[in-house]
């Protein structure tokens, strides 16, 4: 997976090292850098990522949404993920693997 980040930020924080091992970290994967419409307010590895609207977003007047928070919860088991969707526990899921 690739992300677009600021070159100067990467250089200033020596965040070139690519993390390949599960549970390993570097500056870039535990600190945020970006100018998007949401900011990370909580990140518990392998548990959840919580985002809230970023008031400093340069394009906030060009988008409309009613979100106050977005919570991403990784569910590794396909059947459990589908059950969570069908029960209403989650609103959407990715990846969606359809099997017949």
- Tell me: the pLDDT tens digits for 23-67? 667 777 777 677 788 888 998 988 999 999 988 888 888 888 899
Confidence band for 20, pLDDT divided at 50, 70 and 90: low
Q: Are residues 41 and 65 in the same domain?
A: yes
Q: Are residues 88 and 70 in the same domain?
A: yes
Q: Are residues 46 and 67 in the same domain?
A: yes
Q: Are residues 16 and 41 in the same domain?
A: no
CA pair distance 23, 95, nearest whole angstrom: 22
Mean pLDDT (the chain, rounded)? 82
Q: Are residues 46 and 76 in the same domain?
A: yes
pTM of the model: 0.64
Identify the residue with better confidence: 71 or 63.
Answer: 71
* Strand residue runs (E) in the chain: 38-44, 48-53, 70-72
Q: Domain range holding 26?
A: 1-34
- The answer to whether 85 and 93 are in contact (CB under 8 A) is yes
Q: Are residues 69 and 79 in the same domain?
A: yes
Q: Are residues 52 and 8 in the same domain?
A: no
């Amino acid at each position: 997976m690739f992300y677009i980040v600021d070159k100067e930020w990467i250089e200033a924080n020596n965040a070139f090292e690519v993390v390949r091992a599960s549970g390993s970290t570097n500056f870039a994967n535990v600190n945020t850098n970006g100018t998007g419409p949401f900011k990370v307010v909580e990140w518990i590895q392998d548990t959840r990522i919580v985002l809230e609207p970023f008031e400093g977003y340069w394009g906030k007047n060009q988008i409309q949404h009613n979100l106050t928070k977005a919570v991403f919860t990784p569910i590794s088991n396909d059947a459990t993920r589908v059950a969570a969707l069908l029960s209403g526990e989650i609103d959407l899921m990715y990846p969606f693997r359809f099997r017949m």
